Amino acid sequence: MKRLVTFVLVLAVVPTMAWGQQIHPLVGDMGYADLILTNGKIVTMDDRSITPNTPGNIVESMAVKGKRIMAVGSNSEIRALAGPKTRFVDVGNKTVIPGLIQTHYHLFSPAVARYGPELDLTDPSIKLTVVAETTAEATAKKIRETIVNAIQARQLPNGQWITVDLKENDDNRRGTTFSWLYMGSINRRQIDSGTENNPVLVKTGLQGVLNTPAIEEIKTFFPDWEESTDMENRPGAGKDGYAAVPEIQGLSFELWWKDKPLEDLAEAMYRHGMDMQKLGITTAATRILFPRVIAAYNLLNREGRMPHRLAYYVESQRGNFYGKKQIHEFYKGSGAPWTNHANGGEMLWNNGMCNEVWDSIYNEVCMGPDMPDAPAEVKARERCPYPGSKPWESFKEAIIHGWRPVQGHATSSHGARLYIEMLEEAMKEGNYSVEYMRNLRTTIEHNILLGNVPEIMEKIKLYGIIINVNMGMLRDIPENIKDYGEDLRKFAMPVKTWINDGIRVTFEAAGTDFWTPIYSLVTRKIPGRDVDFLTGKPAPEVQILPEEGIDRVSALKMATIWASEYMMAEDTIGTLEPGKYADFAVLDNDFFTIPIEEIRELKVVMTGLSGEIIWDADQPGN
């Protein structure tokens, strides 16, 4: 592919143009183009409708002036906008699409996992591994004995942190250890004996349990830990030492790295962002729990080093372990400083607030009255929010005081019903209209078992709630069906039905992988991970409700034009239209015509951000 070919002799390119004469009206208004892409299949994705296979205009060429798209059209039309300093890039008939938008990506975590060790941002704890037994009691005993033996055999000093990675037993149902920890069947009282001088975190996936010394150390920087933990999870969670994402990540960001230079944390975020550029990702959204992470991104932004656009959602009540009083004071006193993209920062903007955990996944879904006949032990472990819980209180208080609520995990039908109930309470207390709420574009995430319950869907449409799906999580449905029965299957992300019913649906990429979720949206086949993070074993492919598959163009809309609506940025990004930022990705194959099985192998060979080519696979050093 030809790259960065500058045509100096513009008279030869545009023979009808004489200096000072016959200037194109656009040139007269804006000056000559700075950059022109030619000889491409440039798919603008500017059709916002739900009509299948309607990508919008397809053109050969695109002109860029400064950071924005100047015009699109045929090669000859766009060449008329060139001047003596215009750069031409011949994309060799390759497909060009808008820059990809990742709507739900906790990008700071992979950033420090990949680049933290290079910057002395590491986990200083001693690492142990325990494979669960078939009962909670035997597993707790094994955990404690493993820790005590390690302390004695290695002569670990007092104060040395220990982390235990708890693996699932092959004979257990998937997610069994999750339930044991969440329900308190494994708790700190079982591991305190013999570990009095060493803080311990036992974790499985995204949750775990802390011993008493660990809790005391956490309380030095999160003094309201018990109240906060009980509010977020369940009454008694603090007494049990239950730990989840805030504690597990907070150990790094707020304890182990509290004295590390902020520049080092920012550098890890920057390097990961450079990796994202190579994949055509130009915009991302994330919830941020910890103030140091917000500070790191703002440092990059002040220095002009943001490698992609980032919309972030404040989740301070989890990152700071607030109690009920602090939650109310924070949202009441902060003045709702969120914004949309057009009126916020070009590269970084606060797009709202969230409390990521609303209901849950794996064993603790929230089906409520929609699956009333499930066994009692299954219903007992359902995780549903309620007035007084941290998700309920933080969302409600924020809405009342003017915040945009985003990224609540309404994974199940009854969870969504409760979210709407909370929303309506906040609207009543804040005296807000339906139109006001629609303009906030609240979102619910993952939606594995949201289903199509009429009363819930009507409210989702009424309030303009955006459904943001995670296709990979359909992998867990066969295990959920074992719990609830075959009737549960119909609840498994009926995406096509939602779209056809006029609900706006987007998807979150699998980290930085957009092509596998698109493949799954079309085929409803969910490829197994190389290694399942819950079991450590290879995961099989799963196919769920194939009749709910959609066309590939609609799937791409979910990551471009529709995703821009999620980010409140549809007037700035998401399509290749004049006036919008020139964010684009050039693909190595034609997304629109290749067999669906080959979509997962697509590569990005060039990325543009704000009119600059920030990644080019053909350039030396890339």
| Nearest partner of 368 among 357, 382, 381, judged by Cα | 382
Q: Within the chain, how many helices (H) and strands (E) appear?
A: 24, 25
**How far is Cα 159 from Cα 217, in angstroms, rounded to an integer?**
10
Question: Which amino acid is located at 179 in the chain?
Answer: S
Mean pLDDT for all residues in the chain: 93
- Report percent pLDDT > 90 for the chain: 89
| Residue with more model confidence, 21 or 602 | 602
The mean per-residue pLDDT over the stretch 305-317 comes to 97
DSSP 8-state class, residue 253: I
168 Cβ contact list (under 8 Å, min separation 6): 131, 132, 174, 175, 176, 177, 204, 534, 535, 536
- Distance, in Å, from the CA atom of 219 to the CA atom of 5, rounded to the nearest integer, reads 60
Nearest-CA neighbor of 427 among 458, 395, 450, 453?
395
pLDDT value for 360: 82
CB burial string 128-139: b at 16+ within 10 A, e below: bebebbeebeeb
Confidence of residue 490 (pLDDT cuts 50, 70, 90): very high
Q: How far apart are CA 207 and CA 508, in angstroms?
A: 22
Q: Which amino acid is at 615?
A: W
pLDDT at 21: 54
In which band, very low, low, confident or very high, does the pLDDT at 206 lie, cut at 50, 70 and 90?
A: confident
- Enumerate residues 6+ apart whose C-beta is below 8 A from 244: 206, 207, 208, 232, 233, 357
Tell me what the mean pLDDT of segment 202-209 comes to. Answer: 92
pTM flag (> 0.85):
yes
Alpha-carbon distance of 244 to 2, in angstroms, equals 50
Rounded Cα distance, 62 and 84, in Å: 17
The helix/strand/coil state of 468 is strand
Write down the pLDDT at residue 217: 95
> Does the pLDDT of residue 20 top 50, yes or no?
no
**Rounded alpha-carbon distances, angstroms, from residue 489 to 480, 545, 551, 569:** 9, 8, 22, 35
Judged by DSSP in three states, 419 sits in helix
Q: Confidence band (pLDDT; 50, 70, 90) for 8?
A: very low
Long-range contacts for 4-13 (Cβ within 8 Å, ≥24 apart)? 4/87, 4/89, 4/613, 4/616, 5/87, 5/88, 5/89, 5/90, 6/85, 6/86, 6/87, 6/88, 7/82, 7/86, 7/88, 8/84, 10/82, 10/83, 10/84, 10/86, 13/79, 13/82
CB-facing half-sphere around the CA of 507: CA atoms within 13 A: 34
How many angstroms separate the CA atoms of 202 and 243, rounded?
9
Do 606 and 615 meet the contact criterion of CB atoms below 8 Å apart? yes
Output the pLDDT for position 1.
45
Q: Please, what is the Cα angle at 118 between 117 and 123, to 5 degrees?
A: 15
Query: Mind listing the pLDDT tens digit for each residue in 399-411?
Result: 999 999 999 987 8
Looking at residue 411, its pLDDT comes to 85
